[in-house]
Structure 1
């Protein structure tokens, strides 16, 4: 069975990021011993939430990343927020376009959830 999952965030509301990270934590916890890929794709206004200055949520995300969570941030969203790769949390990937990344993941068999 394929447990690969894409979680999508496009909101700058902290409560939405908290929900996405808690969903990621619960997903990892619920699949002990299973092989899966888990990706959070951030685009639009959500890019600002992944700024290095957001230590509160970085502290939640870091252990999840150590357990395999991949965070992909849209380059277009970064540019629209006047941010660069150097401004975001360590370990995050930058993809050319968030929506294209979501489509790519879905074509690879990832389930898709947007809170």
Structure 2
């Protein structure tokens, strides 16, 4: 059975997102013989980091991770609260209704929880 992990980011700090990206890259490299399930859930102020005009410096890394099967999920509730339209996000991101609900759901499905 492949490893499953959810990375949860909720702070508007690029250092946190960069740490998560590095953790994911290392995780995938260490398990190269397997196909792990990796999900990043962004809620709260972290959704600001995934706006296309704010994510230029790490957009390529995110695109590469998506090609490797990593999913980037962004909380609709946080977008609404912060006045960010889904169209403003990187195209690699999918909007979900509630980030915290998704984190709990994934943990219930056996995903390990990581908060960089």
Do both share a fold (TM > 0.5)? yes
Q: CA deviation at 1:13?
A: 0.7
Number of residues of Structure 1 aligned to a counterpart in Structure 2: 115
Equivalent in the alignment of 2:47: 47
> Matches of 1:57 and 1:74 in 2, distance apart?
20
Give the structure 2 partner of residue 71 of structure 1. 72
In the TM superposition, residue 95 of structure 1 has moved relative to its aligned partner by 0.8
Structure 1-normalised TM-score?
A: 0.95
Structure 1: which 4+ aligned runs deviate by more than 3 Å? none
TM-score by length of 2: 0.95
Aligned-residue Cα RMSD (Å) equals 1.0
Unaligned runs of 5+ in 1: none
Question: For residues 70 and 81 of structure 2, what CA distance do their matches in structure 1 show?
Answer: 25
Tell me the distance in 1 between the aligned counterparts of 2:17 and 2:67.
Answer: 18
- Unaligned ranges ≥5, structure 2: none
Aligned partners of 2:62 and 2:92 also within 8 Å: no
Matching residue of 1:17? 17
